[in-house]
Structure 1
């Protein structure tokens, strides 16, 4: 696994907001800082578990998403938020963890 970012949920507006209507959320660019910090504001009708909408998560890139999900508690099934990327969320010790798998070119 390779660290990608930390997602921090907030209800407040933040600098550099990027609206993602398909995902029903607003984010900041995690690449605009050396630590991969991404602010996230979920829209009222966002279909995600409260755990994901209220507790910060760590995101890791994995080579094989199916293998990484084996024997894990999946709380958001694999889906594609953008072309070439498949993500899923698991719960580990009460915290959300995002697993990301980029398509091999």
Structure 2
């Protein structure tokens, strides 16, 4: 597992907003700081659990998402927001954790 970012939900605006209408949210660039902090504001109709929309999460890159999910309570099923990236959220001790499998041969984004 490799740390990727920490996502911090907010309801207010923030510098460097990146709208993601397909995902019903707005984010900041987690690579613009040495700590991987990403602000996240969710649209009112965003289809995510309240836990994800209200509690900060840590995100880790994993080699095998299916294997990494075993034994955990899945709160957002595996999905692919962009080609080459598959993500899922699990709940660990009452907090959301994002697991990310990145196929760098396909993924054109700087994840």
Range into which the TM-score falls when normalised by the shorter chain = over 0.9
Match of 1:76 in 2: 76
Match of 1:14 in 2: 14
Match of 1:54 in 2: 54
Distance 2:31 2:20 in 1: 17
Distance 2:19 2:42 in 1: 10
Give the number of equivalent residue pairs: 105
CA RMSD of aligned residues (A): 0.6
TM-score by length of 2: 0.93
Distance 2:17 2:104 in 1: 29
Runs of 4+ with deviation above 2 angstroms: none
Match of 2:95 in 1: 95
Q: Which runs of 5+ in 1 are unaligned?
A: none
1:67 and 2:67 aligned: yes
SS of the residue aligned with 1:53? helix
Q: Which runs of 5+ in 2 are unaligned?
A: 106-111
Distance 2:83 2:2 in 1: 20
Distance 1:104 1:45 in 2: 31
Cα offset for 1:82?
1.2
> What do the CA deviations read for 1:58-105 (whole angstroms, capped 9, x no partner)?
000000000000111000000011111000000000000000000152
TM-score by length of 1: 0.98
